[in-house]
Each structure stands twice: as C-alpha cells, then as structure tokens.
Amino acid sequence: MTRLRERKIGLSVLGRELLAIRLRRIWDSSVKPDATSPAVPRSVPRVLVPRDGAPVFVISGLLLHDCFRLLTRTGDENLHALTGMVFGRTRVLERIVPLRLSRQGVAGAEASNESLATELMRLHDFGMLPLAYFHSHPGFGPGATCPSSTDRQTQDAMEKSGGHILGGIFSRDRFVRFYANRMEPHVRVVGKRVKEVEKNVYRLET
C-alpha cells in the first residue's frame, strides 16, 4: 500500500520543468483576468469571492461524471487537463483537454511531454488557459484520493507558473478530492448527483 501511495502520477522531472516554463509564458502573455475580464454572464452562478485572494473554481456535476467515466474506464490510472472561462477570480471549468500518455499502468500514469506542449500551445492559440489537472487513483474511499508526493511535485510545477491550477483525484468508487499546494482551493460544484462529504471531497451519485 505504501508503494501505491508513492505512485508516479503526472509528469517526468523534465516534463514538470517544461510545464512550469510553458505555463508561465501562457499566463504572462494573457490579459490579467482581474484587470479587464468580461462581465460574468447570467448563466454563471454567482459565487462569494474568498478573502484570501484565491480564485473560486466552478464545475458542474455533469462534467465531474464525465471526468470520472473517462479516467476510470480501464483498470489503469489516467489523467487529463481542463480549461474553461475566467471571469475575474472565478474559473468556470467546462472542457476536458485530453493528453497522450508516455506511460500508463495500474499504479501510475505519465503525460507525454510532447502532448503536453502541443495542448498548451493549442489552448494559447484559442486564448484559453489551463485551469485544472485531474487524474485517477486505483484505491477506494476518500482516503484513496489523497495526493502522493509525486502529485504534489506535479502540482508545484504548475503553480510555479504564477497561475492558479486546480488538482483533482478520483477514486474507483466515485470519490473526488480537489487540492492545491499554495493555498486551500475554493470549489463550487453546481447541479445534481454530487454530494459533498467533507471540505473539497465529493461523492458522485449514481
């Protein structure tokens, strides 16, 4: 079990460094959301902005169910990124960004550096930002969604960009945990068939 908890999820050492560099370039070349972001449309739920300066991530129960289905469709671990719209300090996750894997197994998965670079540039070309990074773990229950040391290293590489990236881990029995390294993330799940069981941990209902 200890060995499984230290599973290598995410990126190689080189991949983590490339990710930090490319994300920083994308964020630096984008308009600062807090400065000239568009008005929040009526379709986006109104959220209370936390006082700690962290953004609020909004995701639908439908998208979470889609993520779970894609990430657990085989016995191997899997991963993908997500993008969406930015309105001030509100990030609305709305689209899955598939990533090709250079390694995949029951106890680990690793994104291809080439695929990662390609998808980041594609997002940049469309004026979009990478907002979240979700993957699956092989265990069951809320405890199986705790980030490993490698998960934390991958998250750290993303946060070096200066942007706020949300991490998410799914268990095999429909639990999902949201996390970040610099500060506790603020997540609002909208819609039905998702139940919060503790802070930033949810259970997808069948």
**pLDDT tens readout for residues 36-56:** 445 555 555 555 667 677 899
Residue 156 has a pLDDT of 92
Residue 19 has a pLDDT of 58
**What are the residue ranges in the chain where pLDDT is below 70?**
1-49, 51, 162
Mean pLDDT (the chain, rounded): 83
Residues 6+ apart with CB under 8 A from 69: none
DSSP SS3 for 83:
strand
Residue 4 has a pLDDT of 38
Domains in the chain with CATH codes: 2-204 (3.40.140.10)
Contact 132, 168 (CB under 8 A): yes
Q: What digits encode the pLDDT tens for the residues 171-182?
A: 999 999 999 998
Distance separating alpha carbons of residues 130 and 124, to the nearest angstrom: 9
Please name every residue paired with 189 in a beta bridge, in sequence order, or none if there are none.
59
Residue 159 has a pLDDT of 87
Distance separating alpha carbons of residues 6 and 112, to the nearest angstrom: 20
Contact 76, 64 (CB under 8 A): no
